[in-house]
Amino acid sequence: MTAIRLTVGVIVAAGCGPAPLPQALPNEQLATAGTAAATRLTIQLEARLALWRPAAADGPALEVAAFGVVGQPPSVPGPLIRAPVGTEVTVTLANRLADTLLVTGLIDPRSTDTMVIAPGQTGASTFRADRAGLYGYAGHARRGASVDELPRGGQLVGVVAIDSAATGRDRIFAITAWNGPVLPATGDSTFLLAVNGKIWPHTPRIRLGVGDSAHWRVINFARSTHPMHLHGAYFRVDARGDWTGDTAYSLSRRRLAVTEVLRLRETMSISWSPHQPGNWLFHCHDAFHIIHNQLSELPAAAALWSSHLRGDTVHAQALPPVHSEEGHGMAGLVLGIEVSGPTPTRSSLTERRIDLTIQQRARVFGESEGIGAVLARPGQLPADSIQIPSAPLIAWRGQPTAVMVHNRLPAATSIHWHGLELESYFDGVAGFSGQRGRLAPEIAPGDSFMARFTPPRAGTFIYHSHFSEVRQLSLGLFGPLLVLEPGTRWDPDHDRVVIFSVAGLGDSALVVAHDSLAPLRRGRRYRFRFINITPADDVVLETLQAGQPVDWLVVAKDGADLPAGRPGPARLRFGPGETTDIELVVGTGPLAFRVKSFNDFDTAIPVR
């Protein structure tokens, strides 16, 4: 008999080379693992090394640790464990890795109890699925006293879904992250973010028809914050939670949103229905999480990662070339949605025409230029006349609006009308928005593009660049889009806009207010429209009156009115792509915003 030994997770036969690693397949979370019988589910898992191809099926491979069903290829994320409430679930897990495996989520999905499995050994657990929710299981590795929470590529995770009688057949999307070595060509660490094991444009396409009901559940396994944004429609937030369980909202507490932030180990359940045909996106609104470098740097990152795991020294010239020029393409946390159906007829009312000219001026942020838009036709203002944030754009509910966007930059751009329910062709994702045979173009230098929309609701929205997002957002290409009720006017003294952005290409958060000419008056009720359009900043805002906390009333999110509530502490935490409207009665003493962000920005901003 040939001797067998276990070495770094690979079975090696005496006299032979290492057996090739299996391919880790993407897991679209469509099939439940295991064998079900009556009220019992039995699953046999293993953890082993595998080759994961996060882009094309024949693209660069990353050696990672992954879960799989015994006798089947492993997957990223691991096999889906899904069962109705009341099911008795038995899981066995064989450790084919070289290190001791520590796994949470399999002894009891609602706890942090840990299964400890030595190399070559098998652990077992039985739990009763007694509470509906979306949970996760995750593996860590221990070698001696050292614990690696992201062993061999950080893909050693999987989903546990416990269904209630009303859950239905929904789609599950799991976010995972891979953090690799530093590329000599750029000096930056490599990373990528995947949905169900793939990065855009290789993520699965979602195909729906106008009026279909979509029910999605999303779980964040990545160690970063993800403001997930839907184009062209609202979703209803049905539940929020973490790996220890969901909180299902009652009908009176369910709210609409277009952007919802998932922080570490958080989950959400959402429902929505497309009302317009065409191509739409569901993506992370952190600009760095959809940056094209995740795709363009992958070949070099994979080669460097392989050398790192082998302990080899690699020279920069031996790596595949890295395309370092600024690009506008997306990669990472993006899902494409294709909606079929008839295009609704446009309103017969007279269009209101707006000219929006995008220009730049040198040395606005140190040596960096600034980019902004002005409400004027080209040539009406000096070529370097800009406004940052860009000029407030006012529209009215039910009023057809046509915005002619003139690009006077030396580079292409496109404008996304964030939060608006409009035709896909005008949504602002160059080369994607629209339908097959008629896709929206990028707006080339010196060219113009007419965007048309009829806002169906009043609220606070954003217009911003959806092209080379990190650069163009950082340099100022964004502005507030305020939709008012018919017959009303915007009163900037009473109705104030506060925008959170960044200053130039650095990481420091900056608060910019479209300030009023009049001071705040005691006893008067004001509406503040908060907009976070930073490329990547999670912002915490507290409001102080004479240095003391105050109460306010939160009335709307993402342009949609919230269920009636009561005033509460004036504290708000929100991420890129979120807007929040509040009402505040001014008391005695100076008013100030205390602003903190994850980039260690911490300051008090006086409000007049």
Q: Who has greater pLDDT, 135 or 346?
A: 135
Instruction: Read off the pLDDT of each residue in 181-194 and give the average, rounded to a whole number.
Output: 88
Cβ proximity of 55 and 13 under 8 Å: no
How far is C-alpha 434 from the geometric centre of its chain's CA atoms? 22
Q: Which CATH class is domain 345-490?
A: mainly beta
Q: What is the pLDDT of residue 511?
A: 63
Mean pLDDT is lowest, of 69-73, 298-302, 400-404, for 298-302
Q: Which residues pair with 548 in a beta bridge?
A: 545
Q: What is the pLDDT of residue 430?
A: 96
User: In this structure, what token pair is assigned to residue 313?
Assistant: 């020294």
- pTM for the model stands at 0.94
pLDDT digits (tens, 9 = 90+) for 553-574: 999 999 999 988 899 999 999 9
Q: What is the pLDDT of residue 167?
A: 60
Of 520, 498, 528, which is closest to residue 510 (Cα–Cα)?
A: 498
User: 512: pLDDT confidence band, cut at 50, 70 and 90?
Assistant: low
User: 31: pLDDT confidence band, cut at 50, 70 and 90?
Assistant: very high
Q: Do domains 1-165 and 491-608 have the same CATH topology?
A: yes
When computed from its CA atoms, the radius of gyration of the chain, rounded to whole angstroms, is 26
pLDDT digits (tens, 9 = 90+) for 314-326: 766 667 777 654 5
Q: Is the pLDDT of residue 517 over 70?
A: no
Q: Output the CA–CA distances (angstroms, integers) from residue 290 to 298, 348, 384, 492, 570, in the order listed.
A: 14, 38, 30, 35, 32
Q: Is the peptide bond before 77 cis (omega within 30 degrees of 0)?
A: yes
pLDDT digits (tens, 9 = 90+) for 226-279: 999 999 999 999 999 988 888 888 888 899 999 999 998 899 999 999 999 999
Mean pLDDT is lowest, of 49-53, 147-151, 425-429, for 147-151
Domain at 170-342: CATH code: 2.60.40.420
Q: What is the pLDDT of residue 439?
A: 97
Q: Is the pLDDT of residue 434 over 80?
A: yes
Mean pLDDT of all residues belonging to the chain:
90
The domain at 1-165 falls in which architecture? Answer: Sandwich (2.60)
Q: Is the pLDDT of residue 128 over 70?
A: yes
Q: What is the pLDDT of residue 6?
A: 24
The residues near 251 (Cβ < 8 Å, ≥ 6 apart) are none
Superfamily name with CATH number, domain 491-608: Cupredoxins -  blue copper proteins (2.60.40.420)
Distance of alpha carbon 195 from alpha carbon 204, whole angstroms: 9
Q: What angle do CA 27, 32, 37 make, to 5 degrees?
A: 160
Boundaries of every domain in the chain: 1-165, 170-342, 345-490, 491-608
User: 519: pLDDT confidence band, cut at 50, 70 and 90?
Assistant: confident
Q: What is the pLDDT of residue 159?
A: 97
Cα torsion angle, 489, 354, 437, 293, sign = negative
- Residue 353, exposed/middle/buried by CB under 10 A (0-12, 13-18, 19+)? exposed
Q: What is the pLDDT of residue 525?
A: 94
Helical (H) or strand (E) element with 309:
helix 298-310
Q: Please give the share of the chain, as a percent, with pLDDT higher than 70.
A: 93
Q: Which residues pair with 463 in a beta bridge?
A: 417, 479
User: 471: pLDDT confidence band, cut at 50, 70 and 90?
Assistant: very high
Q: Is the pLDDT of residue 515 over 80?
A: no
Q: Who has greater pLDDT, 140 or 308?
A: 140
User: 458: pLDDT confidence band, cut at 50, 70 and 90?
Assistant: very high
Q: Is the pLDDT of residue 127 over 90?
A: yes
Q: What is the pLDDT of residue 8?
A: 28
E strand intervals along 221-314:
226-230, 235-242, 245-248, 255-257, 259-262, 266-272, 278-284
Distance of alpha carbon 148 from alpha carbon 145, whole angstroms: 10
Q: Please give the share of the chain, as a percent, with pLDDT higher than 90.
A: 72
Q: What is the pLDDT of residue 14?
A: 38
Q: Who has greater pLDDT, 385 or 519?
A: 385
